[in-house]
Structure 1
Amino acid sequence: MGEQKNMILAAALSFLVIVVWQVFLAPPPPALNPQLPPAESVAGAPDAPGPIAAAPTSVPRAEALARSARVPIDTPKLRGSLSLKGGRIDHLDLTAHRQTNDPGSPAVELLEPTGAANPYYALWGWTPARGSQTGPLPDAETEWALAAGDRLAPGAQVTLEWDNGAGLVFLREIAVDENYMFTVTQTVANRTDAALSLAPYAIIARHGEPQTINFYILHEGAIGEIDGVLKEYNYSDMLELPADPAEGGPVERLPVANNGWLGFTDKYWMTALAGGADRPFTAVFKATGAGLPVFQTDLRQPALTVAPGESASASSMLFAGAKETRQLQEYEDTRGIGGFVDAVDWGWFFFLTKPIHWMLLFIHDIVGNMGWAIILLTVVIKTLLFPLAYKSFVSMSRMKNLQPEMEKIKERVGDDKMKMQQEMIALYKREKVNPAAGCIPILLQIPIFFSLYKVIFVSLELRHAPFIGWIQDLSAPDPTSWMNLFGLLPFETSAIPAFLTLFSIGVYPIIMGITMWMQQKLNPAPTDPIQAQIFAIMPFMFMFLLGTFASGLVIYWIANNVLTFAQQYTIMRSQGVDVNFFGNVKRTFKRKRPVE
């Protein structure tokens, strides 16, 4: 039963792709390189900014915000404020994205001020070049004055000012676009009688290790692109970087010659610092502090020499927002931030996931519904893969037509396995049939299936995207459950005990299991009892294992099963195979008589 074995192989391999891939084939953590050049290798590099200490206690967010004077931030996609203490951007909510699918749910909270439970903010400052006597320099505790502007909005920038009392005046001009990009220009005016060398820096600091999905196929943590090379560090990786007492903890410095950016990424949100094209700097990933760690990514620019009576400026960019792929691509194209769209975790098969994602958005632009876009994308992919599917199903059909001859060989040679193998090979050669031909196309399709799964999993565009009926979030599992008769019994699915969650599946996973079961019934059950048992439980195994996956993925699987059923039925009939679908279904439910 060669075709049965191929079908079992296809199902088993698909199962491995979804459930086991991330365990065995997930990319390893980036190799740590303690031999990288230190900061001093960059011309004019400064001393390192001082370590940021973690706050010993926390207070409610509103109380933490009230501890400093603030300038409001208001854009079409962001709302928050910047603190005049330290000149930090430390309060941002993403107004276009809600915490839950309820339209009245609060906006996603991205940045948090110091004093709150999990501070997360961006700040800027200057450090002296080695040996330069500058007097006090602005840092995280500096109290800035508002020199110009009263709110930060598109077309309305603000200017902060601070005089160090020793002949240096610092200005910080902050502008924001209508999406997620801030531009910060730092200026120092030298009113002393000696030339000074100072280096500007920008920092994103995150206090404490944030809660992550902790799924192997998704990177969450520090991220950056250094002259075209993507770098990723889990939070645990950062704690294991080489220790440097001057930095206050584990650190890795990476010189950027032409283009780069770095920051922190969650599944859907990100903060990142960028200098722009042809703007060298040193990218620094580090963790500081005892007890509760503070994770940092620093953008350290080369030192500037400022003559007496002169001033010097340096600018950098801060992205703080949602990883909307088209917006990231626009920043990459217009702001010269190389590889910015790679902030989305495209995985090893990026050459497949990127075009699949682009096609999904293209179809969504036409139909206006992400669920239908997934179904139509499945149609497109199945159409593109039809030549491979045709070859696979034709091979399976030819093997099925050879079953009578194969049975005759078994009867003729008996238990002589060597003789049977020789005659089988001769039969295959005579009929020009390759028993492995049905497997090869299946193997070639696996990267494409996995890539589509990856796209559905990581795409922000599926978050809170509705389909039809009760599916109002394609990134979440089907909310219905057979345990309450799909809502007929008077208790919510949230009341189902945690240990029963795996079995609490909804309508779409059940439909997926049925369509997979229907695929099986295009062929009789295998004669081998072990194969028959494996074949029989496979749809139910998938039904429960995928029942807790994103409903968008389950909808794809249903569409794929239906199209595969239609393709296989048509091709088998065209090859002269007697497809007794209803007969196979009937035999499944036919009660077997006990053997006397």
Structure 2
Amino acid sequence: MDTRRLILLLVFSFSMVMLWDGWQKHTHPAQPATAASGTAPASNGVPTPTAATTVSAPGVPGVPQIASPAAAAPRMKVRTDVLVADVSAEGGDIVRLELTRHKATGDAEHDYVLFDDGEKHLYAAQSGLIGNGLPTHKTRFALPAQERVLKDGEDAVSVRLEAPATADGIRVSKLITFHRGSYVAEVSYEIANGSGAPIAPHAYFQFMRDGKPAEQAGGFGVQTFTGPAFYTDAEKYQKVNFQDVTDKKAKFVTKAPDGWVAMVQHYFVAGWAPAAGEREFFANALGGDLFAAGVIVPVAAIAPGQSGTVSVPLYAGPQEQSRLDQFAKGFDLVVDYGWLTIIAAPLFWVLEWFHKLTGNWGWAIILVTIALKALFFPLSAASYKSMAKMKTLGPRLQRMKEQFGDDKMKLNQAMMDLYKREKVNPLGGCLPILIQIPVFIALYWVLLGVVEMRGAPWLGWIQDLSVKDPYYILPLIMGATSLVQQRLNPAPPDPIQAKVMMMMPILFTFMFLWFPAGLVLYWVVNNCLSIAQQWQINRMIEAGGKAAE
């Protein structure tokens, strides 16, 4: 088997193994972690501002119905132009959040629900104060109304919830402010110290979520990450698996002067980002497949008769990179492209630029493909010339095989002498494929991970570039163009190798049936451009050979 074919087969085999592994993870995802039954709750049921590694998160371990009290408590709705939030009287938690500009996975009739009170998940944004008698996320607040709506001409809508006064006269109000066209809300506490002594409380802001992964779009894809993530300037981006939290093996920054905590899932994210100042991060298993991850911040000391405030912004929405950049430093890292971020990030920037020109992500993918082809044109041209020359040497290589029979050593030596005389590099044809593999994988992660591609139509029957072609038209075109391209390449001298190489387009077509339509579109356009380029080079080489003869 010649070296060029061996390399191609190795690349193909590696791709098959990688994609099969992704398929296994997609169709048989790991079971959600369950907390150990021996976990002990904090004495007061809320986090304690000690070392973050020993923080006991709120909740009663081992009780799956931990969110049911909030579900039974009175609620009010807050409506803006981009979301509908359900705020519970218990703790003033945001127990349900509906994103009105994004449709549910596989259901275009309903909006996407991020925070969920049990329809598919248990997931809420919770907060409270730490101090003797101060309100926590278990405290029953007084709701100001049944509903608040952002009216025309208003830029923000606020909800003020009042907690019962403590025994020593401390009064606390919780204020949640939503903004027009924004997925950021400010969650604040106003503390009036009516006691006779100064107080220095802490505030905690956390996400409570079950361990089930977020719903995936239909098609062939890997199971994307769902779980807590932390960021600081010193330690950068750190993801934490639910299983590691359960096993108490989670490794993440615990104390820092900056940074944020997030709950990440496919296409969407929620995060708390306190202003600069000391903070503690925590992640804990609550039991019953429920987890808490959050941050604790100190509140400046409040003298008797004085008031103090603490406020932390909450982002809860899609992973739109323009919004993430504005929310907090490093928050755009929640869009995880894997180990090819160095290629995927610039690819998305170019894609986004073309999208601004065309207004359509499908045409943007086509233009990116053309741009990549133009960028690598000199390299590809040299490789195609090498393959075209190899094709003209096919008859002579066949005669050598017949001449030397089973003497592999003499055959290989004769072939190398021929390549040297004709100035042909037998490995030259591998280069375009080797270059395309990382670009292909990077673009795969872009199309899989960016929410901008979710539900984005191209034309006709392609109404969502992030899922498979519903009628498999693009994969079949891709298979046909791959077959044409294969026939333009020089055939291997070994008949078995030739059959294996001719099977590759069929195998690729089968795999691409479940790939995102945007990725298949890229491959179809790339194949068509490669066919045109290779056909022209073959004509030039053949014409030159006839003239020489």
1:541 matched to 2:507? The reply is yes
What secondary structure is seen at the aligned counterpart in 2 of 1:468? coil
Distance in 1, Cα, partners of 2:252 & 2:366 = 46
| Aligned residue among 40, 50, 63 for 2:58 | 50
- 1:223 partner letter: A
The verdict on how the C-alpha distance between 1:56 and 1:315 changes in structure 2, with shifts beyond 3 A counting, is same
Q: Residue 145 of structure 1 aligns with which residue?
A: 142
Per-residue Cα deviation, 1:523-558 (whole angstroms, up to 9, x for no partner): 464342211221222222111221122222222221
2:482 & 2:419 partners in 1: Cα distance? 30
Confirm or deny that 1:293 pairs with 2:304.
Answer: no
Change (3 A) 1:446 1:553: same
Partner residue of 2:306 out of 305, 310, 318: 310
CA contact (8 A) 1:519 1:561 kept: yes
- Structure 1 contact 453–553 (Cα < 8 Å) conserved: yes
Is 1:282 paired with 2:280? Answer: yes
- Measured in 2, the distance between the counterparts of 1:25 and 1:296 equals 25
Matched, 1:320 2:316: yes
| C-alpha distance in structure 1 between counterparts of 2:55 and 2:416, whole Å | 74
The amino acid that maps onto 1:107 is D
CA distance, structure 2, for counterparts of residue 58 and residue 285 of structure 1: 17
- Say whether the 8 Å CA contact 2:197–2:303 is kept in structure 1: yes
Contact 2:102 2:111 in 1 (8 A): yes
Counterpart of 1:194 in 2: which secondary structure? coil
| SS of match in other structure, 2:488 | coil
Aligned equivalents of 1:325, 1:357: Cα separation in 2: 10
Is 1:204 paired with 2:170? no
The yes-or-no answer on 1:181 pairing with 2:179 is no
Matches of 2:107 and 2:222, distance apart in 1: 29
Look up the match of 2:442: 451
1:569 aligns with 535
User: Which residue number corresponds to residue 43 of structure 2?
Assistant: none
Q: C-alpha separation between the residues in 2 aligned to 1:273 and 1:443?
A: 42
Residues in 2 aligned to 1:459 and 1:226: alpha-carbon distance in whole angstroms: 23
What do the CA deviations read for 1:298-323 (whole angstroms, capped 9, x no partner)?
11113543332233322211111111
1:68 aligned onto 2:73: yes
Q: Is contact 2:4-2:430 (8 Å) kept?
A: no
Secondary structure (helix, strand or coil) at the match of 1:202 reads strand
Q: Structure 1 residue aligned with 2:247, among 216, 240, 243?
A: 240
Pairing 1:362–2:362 present: no
* Aligned-pair CA distance for 1:102: 6.2
Q: Secondary structure at the match of 1:442?
A: helix
Q: Is the 8 A contact 1:477 1:551 kept in 2?
A: yes
Matched position secondary structure for 2:201: strand
Q: Which residue is equivalent to 2:162? A: 161
Instruction: Name the residue aligned to 1:218.
Output: 224
SS of the residue corresponding to residue 428 of structure 2 reads coil
Partner of 1:586: none
Secondary structure at the counterpart of residue 336 of structure 2: coil
Aligned twin of 1:346: 337
**Identical pairs, percent:** 34
- Give, in angstroms, the shift of residue 199 of structure 1: 0.9
Amino acid paired to 1:233:
V
Counterpart code for 2:162: E
Whether contact under 8 Å (1:224, 1:260) holds in the other structure is yes
Sort the Cα spacing of 1:11 and 1:522 in 2 relative to 1 into closer, same or farther, 3 A: farther
For this pair of structures, how many residues does the alignment match? 514
Task: Please list the CA deviations of residues 35-66 of structure 1 after superposition, one character each: whole Å capped at 9, or x if unmatched.
Answer: xxx96458xx996453355765599x9x975x
Distance 2:394 2:369 in 1: 33
Q: Does the CA-based 8 Å contact 2:99-2:317 persist in structure 1?
A: yes
Note if 1:78 corresponds to 2:79: no
SS at match of 1:139: coil
In 2 relative to 1, CA 18–550 (structure 1 residues): closer, same or farther, beyond 3 Å?
farther
2:104 corresponds to: 99
- 2:13 is the counterpart of 1:19: no
The one-letter code matched in structure 1 to 2:379 is: L
Measured after TM superposition, the shift of residue 3 of structure 1 is 10
CA distance in 1, matches of 2:252, 2:197: 31
Secondary structure at 1:557's aligned position in 2? helix
2-structure distance, mates of 1:160, 1:120: 21
Aligned to 1:490: none
Q: How far apart, CA to CA, are the structure 1 residues paired with 2:54 and 2:305?
A: 22
> 1:96/1:372 Cα in 2 relative to 1: closer, same or farther (>3 Å)?
same
- Cross-structure match for 2:477: 511
Aligned pairs for 1:369-408 within 5 A: 369-407=360-398
Match in the other structure for 1:267:
266
Question: Once structures 1 and 2 are overlaid, which stretch shifts more, 417-426 or 447-456?
Answer: 417-426
8 Å contact from structure 1 (residues 392, 442) kept in 2? no
Q: In 2 relative to 1, CA 252–296 (structure 1 residues): closer, same or farther, beyond 3 Å?
A: farther
8 Å contact 2:55–2:282 — kept in the other structure?
A: no
Task: Please say if residues 2 and 399 of structure 1, whose CA atoms lie closer than 8 Å, have aligned partners that are also in contact.
Answer: no
AA aligned opposite 2:246: L
1:391 is displaced (CA, Å) by 2.4
Deviations 1:220-269 (A, max 9, x none): 22223232521112333332224xxxxxxxx6662353432222222112
Q: Which of 325, 333, 339 is the aligned partner of 1:329?
A: 325
SS across alignment from 1:106: strand
Q: Is the 8 A contact 2:478 2:524 kept in 1?
A: yes
Q: For 1:10 and 1:184, locate their aligned partners in 2 and report how far apart those are by CA, in whole Å.
A: 54
Q: Which residues in structure 2 correspond to 1:465-480 (within 5 Å)?
A: 465-480=456-471
1-structure distance, mates of 2:411, 2:491: 23
Deviations along 1:112-138, one digit per CA (max 9) or x if unpaired, are 23x76632111111123xxxxx3x121
User: In the alignment, is the contact (CA less than 8 A) between 1:509 and 1:547 conserved in 2?
Assistant: yes
CA distance in 2, matches of 1:51, 1:441: 56
Asked whether the 8 Å contact 2:59–2:286 carries over to 1, the reply is yes
* Aligned residue number for residue 190 of structure 1: 193
Contact 2:3 2:427 in 1 (8 A): no
Distance in 2 (CA, whole Å) between partners of 1:510 and 1:405 is 35
1:462, 1:474 within 8 Å by CA — same for their partners in 2? yes
TM-score, length basis structure 2: 0.83
| Aligned partner (choices 101, 122, 125) of residue 125 of structure 2 | 122
Q: Contact 2:229–2:263 (CA<8 Å) still a contact in 1?
A: yes
Q: Distance in 1 between matches of 2:173 and 2:438?
A: 52
How far did residue 414 of structure 1 move? Answer: 4.5
Question: Distance between the aligned counterparts of 1:199 and 1:548, measured in 2?
Answer: 50
Residue 568 of structure 1: CA displacement? 1.4
- Segments of 5+ residues of structure 2 without an aligned counterpart are 27-47
Deviation track 1:119-175 (CA, whole Å, cap 9, x = no partner) reads 2111111123xxxxx3x1212221213479973744222222222222222122221
| TM-score for the superposition, normalised by structure 1 | 0.77
Q: Which residue of 1 aligns with 2:35?
A: none
* Structure 1 spans left out of the alignment, 5+ residues: 27-37, 129-133, 243-250, 332-336, 481-505, 580-596
The alpha-carbon distance between structure 1 residues 195 and 270, as it changes in their structure 2 partners (threshold 3 A), is same
Q: 1:56 to 1:469 in 2, by over 3 A?
A: same
SS in 1 for 2:492: coil
SS of the residue aligned with 1:156? strand
Q: CA contact under 8 A between 2:230 and 2:253: conserved in structure 1?
A: no
Separation in structure 2 between the aligned mates of residue 260 and residue 470 of structure 1, nearest angstrom? 44
